[in-house]
Amino acid sequence: MKIVHTASEMFPYLKTGGLADVTGALCKSLSRFGHDISFFIPGYRKILESPEFSKAKLKVVLQIELGEDYLRGEVYAVPIGKRQTLYIIRRDEFFDRSNPYGSGNRDYDDNDRRFIWFCKAIVEAMHVLEIKADIFHCHDWQTGLAPLFLRMLEQEHRTTLALKTFFSIHNLAFQGLFPSSSFRFTNLADEFNELDGIEFYEQISMIKGGIFFADKILTVSPNYAKEILTSDFGCGMEGALSVREDDLVGIANGIDYEVWNPETDALLPANYSSKDLSGKLLCRKKLLDTVGLSDTDQPVYGIVCRLTEQKGLDLLLKQMNFFIKNDCRLVVLGMGDPFYERALKRWAKSHPDKIGVCMVLDEGMSHLVEAGSDFYLMPSIFEPCGLNQMYSQRYGTPPLVSDVGGLHDTVVDFRENEESGTGFLFAPKDDAFKKALEHSLKIFSSKESMNRMRLNGMSRDFSWSNVVKEYESLYSESL
């Protein structure tokens, strides 16, 4: 199949979260299965500075209508491996910035223009470059209007650019909501600014474009696909989603074993496998040294995440005394909401030998936390899929996770099933989290149980080569 993917992030070119890991691994796996992949991404500064960009060729210059203006953009292409082409859509006014979405904790004021323009530029580039796809697959709100723009362009030019369009929701909490006045940048007829269009409570919603106008809607785990039809998890979109319920499918993400494999991971001080875990101890030591924590015979708990409410940091902050009282260690790697950054820094300052926080974006450090911790924490209040709980199982670091979203689909509770349990699932509530923490201490004191849980996790198969088969059949069934 000829498949066009587009998203605002793709590993290793630009990553702020799991979206990048997923688009990167999914496209790589699809191409290895023989499909021809094109990927459209904005020309962010990090991409313009990458070695790939120095090899990219200018393919076309576009003039894209945006409200009353026509704004120029350039499309560069660079081949990646045998069957992938990365198309970089460049307009420096919009994308040559150090951060993709905002500065500090504030979104850029022109995100409406930036991403409406990007969606238009993708389909215009496909048209001019004569890229005809079997499947056109967009991810998250930044590309939410592209399926609609694609059909509009096809109508206007009496052509076919894609047989079927797909839209993946990676996180419904980010919807691309803008004031109604931003609608003018779409240059769409007014009828699209209504309830069955992209209007959302007197605003416009870019994610609603994907939900209403793509042929098929995907999300990143079967459980999240069910949850988002309810008002508890639907973020106000449950109504729109239930209209499309028959076309909504959940496929749990996989993990990229070329990047996340303790046997070969070059970012670790020592490698290890389920047959010989000795390297894991070296990783633990290195982790404690790096963060400046003292050694202990109690467990080291690790967490790597955006510091946002979603990740359950309120629950974590209420349990800080657990770590201190029990002589455990806690390592937090993450950046985000200044409230959580300040609170965590205060704990680290008052207990410098037990609590370590690293407020940087550091790929190597994220691998070290996964490998060097004894347990991984993910008390999310919602989680579309989550990747770290899969990385941690792979790295022999049993996760303690809330029983929500994709965490429910990817972790087996050891308390319920010792034969195959890989971690602990709990309701995202203070008491339940506390009980799971206490239970983890008990398990840690029994070498045999701990090893069993570790090995159960390490032997699970989360590889993309399995997951990609589900994408393949969904794509072919749709044609």
Measured from the CB atom, the residue of 15 and 454 that comes closer to ligand ADP is 15
Pick from 22, 146, 177, 287 the residue near ligand GLC by CB under 6 A. Answer: 22
Min dist. Cβ of residue 443 to ligand GLC (A) = 26
CB neighbour list of residue 279: distance below 8 Å, 6 or more residues apart:
262, 268, 270, 271, 272
Q: Which residue is nearest to ligand ADP (CB)?
A: 18
CA 117/CA 325 separation, integer angstroms: 53
Pick from 223, 366, 393, 410 the residue near ligand ADP by CB under 6 A. Answer: 366
Measured from the CB atom, the residue of 299 and 334 that comes closer to ligand ADP is 334
CA 109/CA 93 separation, integer angstroms: 13
- Residue 123 CA, chain-centre distance (Å), reads 24
Is 361 near ligand ADP (CB under 6 A)? yes
Q: Pattern of binders to ligand ADP over 254-293, x per CB under 6 A?
A: ----------------------------------------
Nearest to 470 by CA among 249, 257, 258: 249
CA 24/CA 215 separation, integer angstroms: 23
Is 362 near ligand ADP (CB under 6 A)? yes
Nearest to 273 by CA among 282, 264, 285: 264
Buried b (16+ CB within 10 A) or exposed e, 94-124: bbbbeebbeeeeeeeeebbbbbbbbbbbbbb
Min dist. Cβ of residue 386 to ligand GLC (A) = 4
What residue ranges in 316-414 does DSSP mark as E strands? 329-333, 355-358, 375-378, 399-402
Measured from the CB atom, the residue of 229 and 335 that comes closer to ligand ADP is 335
Measured from the CB atom, the residue of 210 and 334 that comes closer to ligand ADP is 334
Please report, as residue ranges, which positions from 40 to 79 form the binding site for ligand ADP (by CB under 6 A).
Answer: none
Pick from 253, 410, 422, 456 the residue near ligand GLC by CB under 6 A. Answer: 253
CA 379/CA 456 separation, integer angstroms: 21
* DSSP sequence for 366-391: HHHHHHH-SEEEE--S--SS-SHHHH
Is 305 near ligand ADP (CB under 6 A)? yes
Helix (H) or strand (E) holding 106, with range, is strand 106-107
Nearest to 81 by CA among 23, 47, 41, 34: 34
Stated length of the chain: 479
Is 220 near ligand GLC (CB under 6 A)? yes
Is 17 near ligand ADP (CB under 6 A)? yes
CA 50/CA 37 separation, integer angstroms: 20
The one segment of 15-23, 128-136, 198-206, 229-237 that binds ligand GLC by CB under 6 A: 15-23
Measured from the CB atom, the residue of 175 and 182 that comes closer to ligand ADP is 175
Which residues lie across from 74 on neighbouring strands? 61, 90
Pick from 112, 227, 265, 383 the residue near ligand GLC by CB under 6 A. Answer: 383
Pick from 4, 7, 9, 21 the residue near ligand ADP by CB under 6 A. Answer: 21
Beta-strand pair 424-426/36-42: unpaired
CA 93/CA 100 separation, integer angstroms: 12
Q: Which amino acid is at 208?
A: K
Tell me the HSE value of 301 on the side-chain side, using a 13 A CA sphere: 26
Min dist. Cβ of residue 365 to ligand ADP (A) = 6
Is 331 near ligand GLC (CB under 6 A)? no
Measured from the CB atom, the residue of 107 and 327 that comes closer to ligand ADP is 107
CB neighbour list of residue 175: distance below 8 Å, 6 or more residues apart:
141, 200, 205, 206, 207, 208, 235, 237
The one segment of 12-20, 44-52, 131-139, 347-355 that binds ligand ADP by CB under 6 A: 12-20
The one segment of 77-85, 325-333, 378-386, 421-429 that binds ligand GLC by CB under 6 A: 378-386
Beta-strand pair 248-250/36-42: unpaired
Q: Pattern of binders to ligand ADP over 309-348, x per CB under 6 A?
A: ------------------------xxx-------------
Min dist. Cβ of residue 382 to ligand GLC (A) = 8
Measured from the CB atom, the residue of 119 and 333 that comes closer to ligand ADP is 333
What are the helix and strand counts (H, E) for the chain?
Answer: 19, 20
Instruction: Say which entry of ligand GLC, ligand ADP, none residue 220 contacts (CB below 5 to 8 A, set by partner kind).
Output: ligand GLC
CA 84/CA 77 separation, integer angstroms: 10
Q: Pattern of binders to ligand ADP over 373-412, x per CB under 6 A?
A: -------------xxx------------------------
Total residues in contact with ligand GLC, by rule CB under 6 A: 13
Is 17 near ligand GLC (CB under 6 A)? yes
Sites of contact with ligand GLC (CB under 6 A): 17-19, 22, 170-171, 220, 253, 383-387
Sites of contact with ligand ADP (CB under 6 A): 17-19, 21, 304-306, 333-335, 361-363, 366, 386-388
